[in-house]
Structure 1
Amino acid sequence: MDIARFKLQHVEILDSIARLREHARAGIVEHAADIAGLVVSMSSIIKVHLAVEDRMLYPAVQKQADRALAEMGRAYQEEMQKIAAAYIDFSRRWNTAAQVARDPEQFRAQANTVLKAVYQRMQKENREFYPAIEAM
């Protein structure tokens, strides 16, 4: 199974998270427009990534004869539902400069929680799940 597109999307998402972090460190209020723009662009990538995972990747993995890999796919899909829901809420709340500038500390707190979960999940996929898929 070719998962190059998924890997590329991970790179794009991780790059967006790094740029969000840079803008937040430089000043959330001062960079609210840049932050909101990154949230919107990153959301587009994440939504496509999640949709293709749900429609194609997870079902294909779960049909494999390798029961351990099939179960891994099922577990990853279930775990991702919680992370995705938290991210969707985050992206809806912080998709305009006005919203970001209005409550910078709440943005920072929620970004630290939600984006950390997204980051950790992608690292886990890169380290465990994708190599297992490529080995099948």
Structure 2
Amino acid sequence: MEIIFYKENGDETILEISEDFYKWLALSDFSKIQKSTGIEIKTEVEEINIEAVRLENGIREKYISFFQTTILENTYPLILKLEEKSKTNLLKASSNQNSMENIVYKIKKSYEAISYLSKKENIYMEYL
């Protein structure tokens, strides 16, 4: 699964995400921010059609805010889990959705998404 950020000239940056993270996005407020529409991008070589969100008119800021909120909401529980685990086995994580491993993953991917969304040259975002 991936989120693709496009520049005006069609250059893209790909953010790889897990299927679980994608499902979480689909069930969260992320999916309610803006619906994808058909967009045609002209590159030097060809025209490509994508289903994407244009990052304009406050939409970019809404996505950034979503991921910032995710980081904030997950940082404190992560810290508590790190403190708890440091007493026994810091690196032992379960497959539980609320495991330290999954919380760290959400924080990391949300941070990466914010960094791509913050780049004004990325004008489209497609999530597959």
Q: TM-score, normalised by structure 1?
A: 0.44
Q: TM-score, normalised by structure 2?
A: 0.46
Would you tell me which structure has more helix in proportion to its own residues? 1
Would you tell me which structure has more strand in proportion to its own residues? 2
